[in-house]
Every structure is written in structure tokens, then in C-alpha cells.
Structure 1
Amino acid sequence: MKKKTFITATLTAMLAVSSPLYAGATLTQIALPISQPSTENTEQQQISISHIYETKAEALAINIDGEQIISLLVKELGNYESEILFKVFEDTIFVDNEQGIPANPREISEGDIIYIYGSSAMTRSLPPQSNTFVVLTNLDKKSPARFIEAKEVTIDDKGNAFVIDAAGNYNIHIEDETPIIPYKTRQFVHISDIVNDSRILVWSEIMALSHPAMVPANKVMLLPDKSEAQEVLTDSIIISTKAGVFSINGQEVHPLTGETMFKNDDGVLMVPVRSIAESFGFDVEWKQESLSVSLFRGAQTGTLTIDSKSYGKQKMLVHLDTAPLIVNNRTHVPVDFLREVLNVDVTINDSEV
């Protein structure tokens, strides 16, 4: 009898802390926006204590109003397979789970597998409706990042952080060397920016069988503060391909001597890295021995190597489809380098004016 009791307790503990990617929908108590489904999609969600409903699901339909997605109809995977209509707001977070970067919600297609953190407060309609806090896309390889609101944050004398979530389910261990990245902002973030009430996404492949569960973080994304979720500052550039000039944060910039912009054989727009990066306030260092470039702006860094499709961003590697190359003794990079490595909002203007 004691043996059966021990086995039952062990299985219960394992199920309680298993990854939500495989466990189906789960509930987590946490302080997050909105407690009741809303019919308004143009305003921020209000802040209240609520239960989080998280689920891995297939996108069945995407409802778009103008340029904005206003709802996602999904079918849950796993044990439930029910349909839910999740309402999307301006402050809903969209993240590419594989790359750990902001995702474009307009790129979600019917049939895509996504992971949603939403409110457990649902309507009694068919299908039930709920509000969406975070949507993770590109779930092919990694387990979904955990959506955490920090209740208690402590930092030890080695600079490592320990974060207890609002529900007391997780103890997140963030080492000083763990990559900490922002969401859609040009501000560099550090482990010390994670404080009580911070909202973070945590990537981890290991979780200890304990309560609270010990979770060593592989990577962390610091999300906008709840009260200022709409105030996102982003570097921006308008590339006028016909005129051959850039507008960087509203200021017109001309390429340096020898720099140009062109499309390679694959149709990828290549742009000069030095004049653009320096205009954004980066120091640019060329290293002849390794044919590489290092960029520094405060604590924000980026690196690239000629003919390599792997780029450095803080303490991470970012893989792009196109490698940098040298033209007229100047280094040129694919325009995606600006988006994915330097976190720049890019607009391309192909008109004559």
C-alpha cells in the first residue's frame, strides 16, 4: 500500500511540473492585464489579478481589421482539442519562440502551431472568447518560453538573479552571463533591470522536480512594463533606394565614399554598415585579421564576419540567410541585419521621391 502511494505521489509531482508544450492547456495564477473578455481592441488591456490560460494550438482563422489582427480562432492540441477565439490587442506580445525576437503577427497563417498565454476568464459563447497576452510562434524545436511575472527578485553577490513568479510555482535562476534581451526597444537591458513586477519570457529546457520548480534560464526577454506597454522606443530607418539616401530617426544621412546600396543575385537589399551604424550612435571597429566588424553602443553589441551568415547580438548568435560582403572596400550587410541584430524598424522606399 505504501509503495502504491509513493508511485502515485511521484507521478503527480512529475505531471505538475511537466513542460506545458506537452501537457496541454494549464492554468497559472499571475498578475496580468484584463480579467474579463473585452469587445474593444483599440485600447490597452486593464491590469488585474487573473488566472492565465496557456495552450498550444493550431490557428484556424485570423481576423484582420485593416492592418491589425483583432482575433485568432484556434483549436487546442493535446487533451482538449476545443476551439477558442482569442482577442488580440495593441499591447499583445508576439514573439518568435525559436529565435527569441519579436514576431510579426501578420505572418501567422492558418494551420500554424502557436502557443498562447491568455486570460482564463472566458465567455460562455461557442466558441468561448478570451483575451490574449502573449503569442509564441515558430515552435518547431524549442519548448515554449514561460511567461512570468516576477513577485520577488533577489540578486546574489555573483550577480545571479533568482526570480519567484507571482503564483509561487517557479524559481527562475538567471546567471550573470545569461542573455537578457528587450522586446521591441532600442534600450539595452541588464539583469538588474529585472525587478519585482517585471514581466519576462524565460527559455529553459530543464526544470527540477521541486516546489517551486527550479528553472535555469537559457535566455530571458524583458517585456514592457504593464503600465507603459504602449511606450515602445525603436530606432528607425527609411531607405530610399532610388535617391540613395537614408532617413535615420528622422535625420537624412548620405552614404560614405565607396558605400552603396544594391540587391544581390538573390534579390536581397544590401546596405553599408558603417554609415548606418555610426548614425545610430554605434562605434564601428574593423578587424582585418578576422575580416570582421564589431559594433558597440554602450552595452549593446553586434558582430559580423565577411562571408558568414552567423551574426553576434549581445551574447547570442543570429542566423540570417545572407552573409555580409565587401564592395568598394566597404562592408555591406543584408537589410535584415538592421532588423534582427540592431533592433531597427526598417522601411524601404523604392519610389523616385
Structure 2
Amino acid sequence: MKKIAPLALSVLLLGTVSAYAEQPTTEGTEQVEKAGTFIQHRGNITAVEQRENAQLFTVDQDDNVFNFYVDDKTLVFDEHGNEVKLKIGDTISLSIYADQPMILIYPPQYAPPVVIVEKDDTANSVKVAQFDENFLSDDGQLKLNLNEESVIINTKGEKVPAKELQNYNAIVFYGPTTRSIPAQTAPEKIVVFPKLEEEVVNPEIAPEIQAIIGEDYKEVDGKIMVPLRMVAEEFDFKVASTGNGAIISKGALSYTITRGETKYGHNRALKHFDVAPALLEKNKTYVEYDFVKELLNHIK
């Protein structure tokens, strides 16, 4: 992703902050490095696989391979804030929560809220962060100069007042910056989305599973039901459809599940659900949360 633009261009485009562009300055007596809410992973997409209600992309980052999921909730933009589709060959930067629980499997798998497609022909940059009431990023590296004409919208395209920016996560699309510390910029566009703590979190669901399913769970007869394939494949289990159910396997482990049946096979043993697996959404089978929690225990 492109870095700081030449100083001359900064002076032309950032009249509101040009006075600071003469030389590097600091806004306080000491510049303290802080950890941000998000961390980034970057690389080139080398493969894509269609999964149930999501796509799994494989990325090669200097011979370090990782996978990431994209579904209809994932925000995918280019460096100007235009919505784009991902394809093999794209250079991408994905942002994930720095403190989000990770599944210990190889290659690593992520479910990023934001993916940015990088292009060689643009000088724009993108920052995914949280900002305080002074419009300073949580890592202390970027300050926004906003005015009444600043474009700030939510994921539905609705305008958001600048004074409410601190209540959201923000994707900032910007061009030149000053050479001050922190760098300052007048962003071209800002897209905001809810903070993680504002998303629905069920205390009964393990954080590793919550990170995968988000709000995609149901309650049937007092039992939490979660999407089977989505979680099992994230845990690196193979899921083979049987027409009215599935066989879930990994190494020596094997489970045979049938929709509408409380009995299910575990290797050569027979076990029981309290609530039978069911097709609660189109082409999506849900099972008891306790079952996928058992799958999680097998990979820990």
C-alpha cells in the first residue's frame, strides 16, 4: 500500500494542514508508540475455494501461506473506497482484530472484517483503526482533518456525523499526508462499521467459535444451534454431504450426522443430540453448539 506522498503534493492538496508540512514536528513532548485495534496481513491471492455461504482465499506472503474467509458481511474495497470483488492475482491487505482469539491450525485462517485490494497505479493509502474525539488514530500514527464536506458513511451508505466517528471502527481512504508526527491528512472518504464490543456476543459461546459465526446462531428448544459446515471447515475438518446430512472427518475422527435425527455416529460409537440437526436456513444445516465445541476441543 502506498506510503507518504511527496511534500510538494501535500502542500498543494492539504491547504488546511500545509503549515505543518514544512518539516517534521510533534504535537506533544513525546511520541509514544501504541498498539492499534487492528493488525494487517498482506500478500497475493493464489487460490479461491467456494464454501457454504463464503469463499476461502489462499494467500502467499513471502512464502508464508495463510487463508481467509469472505462472506456477505466482509467489507472489500480498493484504495479509493470503491467496493470490489476479489480474484486470483490480487494483492490484498486484510485487517483483523489484534486481540481476536485465533484457531491454532496450519495454515492460519482469518475472518477479517475488512479486506483492501492494493493497486500499483494509485498513491492512495488506507487505514483501518479507531479514532478518538480529536480524530487521532488509536496507534497515534494518523490524525484526520475533517470539515463539513468530509465524506463519512456507514456500510449502508448513510451519512455519519464527524462527532460520532469515535463510536465506530473506521476505514479511512486518504492521499497525501503532512510530515508531522503524527501525520495529518484530509481523507477522501471514511467508511465506519460497529466496534467488536458492540456486536452481539453470547457469553455461552467460546470466543473462537463466536469469531467465526458472529451473530449466525439460533435457539431451538433451549439449545443454541450453529452452522455446521461453516465452523467445521474453519477447524480444518472435511465436510462431505450425504444428501440429508454430512460426514465430518479429520484424521482418525469421523462423525456421521443426519438432519432430523437425534442419533449420530462418532467413529464406531453412537451418540445423541438433544435437538436434531436441522436446515434452519436455505442450504445451511445447524447443529447443537456443544457438538462444534467438541470439534474445537479436538484441535486445541
Structure-1-length-normalised TM-score:
0.41
Q: Quick check: which one's helix share is greater? A: 2
Higher RCO (C-alpha 8 Å, min separation 6): 2
